[in-house]
């Protein structure tokens, strides 16, 4: 049983260096090029493709799998969306406002922090983990061997690091980076 987790291509918010959670910024031209380049590295035919409802993830999946999958067959899963970052949404990552810096530090270091009026990291891990469990249940019931999930850096990291507790997963995903998981003897493992 294999799962490919893919982060979306560069979005307008990534380019502008602003915090982006559930905001629906589209891909940049570079982001579309990154997704198209995935066509040469993702050669798999997946039994099912699951996608976050946010446009940047949907467009990445559509472009990356253009030659092998029909986007009308993608299954949109609302709980794969990125973290709700509340008051941080749309704020420059280079902001010199003490309030912003303090809020970002608290969010990064306290996995239960909700002072920004959004989700905590633990909230996100629980939401995405529950969605993942449902996807795996469907995978088992339909005897699928291989699926893909197109989502976001925060949602993927929360899934692999906090929910599945895979220490060997990368600490950060660049745009269009991926993590391949394989279930061996009932345990998820990161594979090359």
Q: Which residues are catalytic?
A: 8, 82
All residues at 6 or more sequence positions from 142 whose CB lies less than 8 Å from its CB, including other chains? 47, 48
Instruction: Give the DSSP letter of residue 36.
Output: H
Q: Which helix (H) or strand (E) holds 59?
A: helix 55-64
Neighbouring-strand partners of residue 6: 150, 178
Which residue, 125, 136, 130, is CA-closest to 165? 125
DSSP states of 82-115 = PP--GGGTT-BTT---HHHHHHHHHHHH-TT--T
For residue 92, the Cα-to-chain-centroid distance in whole angstroms is 21
């Amino acid at each position: 049983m294999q799962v490919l987790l893919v982060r979306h291509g560069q979005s307008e918010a990534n380019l502008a260096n602003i915090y982006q959670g559930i905001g629906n910024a589209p891909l940049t031209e570079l982001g579309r090029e990154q997704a198209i380049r995935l066509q040469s590295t993702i050669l798999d035919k997946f039994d099912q493709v699951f996608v976050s409802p946010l446009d940047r993830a949907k467009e990445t999946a559509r472009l990356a799998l253009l030659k092998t999958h029909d986007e009308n067959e993608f299954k949109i899963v609302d709980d794969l969306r990125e973290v709700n970052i509340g008051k941080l949404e749309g704020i420059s990552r280079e902001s010199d406002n003490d309030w912003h810096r303090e809020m970002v530090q608290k969010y990064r270091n306290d996995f239960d922090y909700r002072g920004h009026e959004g989700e905590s990291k633990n909230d996100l891990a629980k939401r995405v983990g529950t969605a993942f469990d449902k996807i795996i249940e469907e995978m088992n019931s339909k005897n699928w061997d291989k699926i893909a999930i197109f989502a976001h850096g925060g949602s993927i990291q929360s899934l692999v690091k906090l929910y599945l507790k895979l220490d060997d997963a990368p600490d950060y995903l660049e745009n269009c980076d991926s993590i391949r998981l394989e279930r061996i003897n009932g345990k998820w493992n990161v594979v090359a």
